[in-house]
A and B are shown apart, each in its own frame.
Chain A
């Protein structure tokens, strides 16, 4: 059945090539500006990746007006303002961000203040509050999971009020997303597995959520196929350029899918678990993914049955219900393989969540904005048994 309405909008240009992050002249010439400010973090800097990109920019005839490296694990509100001030003072005309989701989201939010001025919370919290394009933003992801290089949202942590603020806006979509497997080769196995499972959760939730469309479905299923093909290899052998590239492309495709159709109960539970017990987002998503699929099973049986094929399952001769169950089994099989590589915990008890904290996770999940898009209306009492199963 076709959706009553959907919109697809993705002006971000995506380029992929092994080594392309240091050879961006053709793309930068089209954008047309000559002064960029780099936003990254100390880990990426110490790995030499910032210098590598900066050298490439210099060769492309572009001036780097400054560098901001103080992005924390969660993109923080106070960093955004400080970063924006530095970008503005440097005389830059655009931004290059090099890093994972926190770096990219910090750069996106800083670009609002750099381009438009004002106060991030007072003037821009809400939905689609911007009225015109921001300054050019080139994104070079160094993980394969967040998809932030192609999403229209920035998530910023407000330390003072201890809450995550979401800024969804079309004008936050970056100008250029640069997918270069060389930028992810140094990602450790645990990060590779967790971020990869984050991408898989984006793709599966995007496919089953209430705002899914035929176009977001195409990106979601493409991402799922690539993840099942490449995630274990990329985790086991980080130097495998093809597996790294496959995961980068998958992450971007999953990002395009979920920025249009959103995420659901799995992210709701992961957000709550992250806020309460500081469990890394990708790990929490990986733990909850099969249980969230089970929670939604009645509403999404046919969709799951279709997804099984993209996970490499042979569903010939199976009933729709059995084919759907094989999709959940395939996800469990994938996480078991990553667990066997000592790269991914698969139980809440293994990541420091106390047994008496499960009800708080259920309550937090209900209060999360993602719960709205879940295909099954979320109920705290009905959700709790699934969280207990994940324990």
Chain B
């Protein structure tokens, strides 16, 4: 059984975080430049999320199985969760099939430097939004105030 107790809770956490990334210019500008449309297919709990950077702003849509994605990434919700802490080596995860990627992988690899700042944002986001129980960063110190 995975870390998240329900698909609804995982959806709230992950979609909320993607929205935050989409509103963070230092990351969003680079994502929008890539024009990437990526579908995340999560298991345990099951959830499909599309992050669409093809327009003027990054859009996140849960349950979107219709949009033609450039890349599809399949993984468990726990692997996705650890990824946003910066704890997953993407090439290792692909090699061990913890993640399965369909589509032009170089375009995904190219985005990794762009999303690097989000790793520091994720634990702060969890704490700030009442999901502190999912913060697995041992050395995490809550923001002052």
Known: A4-B89, A128-B94. A367 touches B110 (CB 8 A): yes
With the chains together, A127 CA to B90 CA distance in Å? Answer: 11
With the chains together, A129 CA to B97 CA distance in Å? Answer: 9
Q: Which of A97-105, A247-255, A368-376 contacts B (4 or more CB under 8 A)?
A: A368-376
Q: Does B113 contact A (CB under 8 A)?
A: yes
A7 touching B104, Cβ below 8 Å: no
With the chains together, A372 CA to B116 CA distance in Å? Answer: 13
Residues of B within 8 A of A5 (CB): 89, 92
Known: A4-B89, A5-B89, A165-B104. A128 touches B109 (CB 8 A): no
Q: Does A211 contact B (CB under 8 A)?
A: yes
Known: A127-B94, A128-B97, A128-B100. A369 touches B89 (CB 8 A): no
Residues of B within 8 A of A141 (CB): none
Q: Does A377 contact B (CB under 8 A)?
A: yes
Residues of B within 8 A of A165 (CB): 104
With the chains together, A129 CA to B94 CA distance in Å? Answer: 10
Known: A7-B95, A128-B94. A166 touches B105 (CB 8 A): yes
Known: A128-B95, A377-B113. A369 touches B101 (CB 8 A): no
B89 touching A129, Cβ below 8 Å: no
Interface residues on B, range: 20 to 34
Interface residues of B in 79-112 (CB under 8 A from A): 89, 91-92, 94-97, 100-107, 109-110, 112
With the chains together, A47 CA to B77 CA distance in Å? Answer: 56
Known: A126-B101, A127-B100, A377-B113. A369 touches B106 (CB 8 A): yes
With the chains together, A293 CA to B20 CA distance in Å? Answer: 39
With the chains together, A168 CA to B105 CA distance in Å? Answer: 9
With the chains together, A128 CA to B100 CA distance in Å? Answer: 7
A127 touching B105, Cβ below 8 Å: yes
Q: Does A115 contact B (CB under 8 A)?
A: no
Interface residues on A, range: 20 to 34
Residues of A within 8 A of B97 (CB): 128
Q: Does A125 contact B (CB under 8 A)?
A: yes
Residues of B within 8 A of A166 (CB): 104-106
Residues of A within 8 A of B109 (CB): 369, 372
Known: A5-B92, A128-B97, A211-B91. A369 touches B105 (CB 8 A): yes
Residues of A within 8 A of B71 (CB): 126
1/0 per residue, CB under 8 A from B, across A1-12: the answer is 000110100000
Task: Choose from B92, B96, B100 the contact partner of A126 (Cβ within 8 Å).
Answer: B100
Residues of B within 8 A of A163 (CB): 104
With the chains together, A55 CA to B105 CA distance in Å? Answer: 41
Closest to A124 in B: B102
Among A127, A129, A368, A369, residue most surrounded by chain B Cβ atoms (within 10 Å) = A127
Chain B residues within CB distance 8 Å of chain A:
71-72, 89, 91-92, 94-97, 100-107, 109-110, 112-113
Among all A-B residue pairs, the 7 with the closest Cβ atoms: A369-B106, A126-B102, A372-B109, A127-B94, A126-B101, A127-B101, A127-B105
Beyond A7-B92, A126-B101, A163-B104, 4 extra complex contacts between A and B, CB < 8 Å: A5-B92, A126-B100, A168-B105, A372-B110
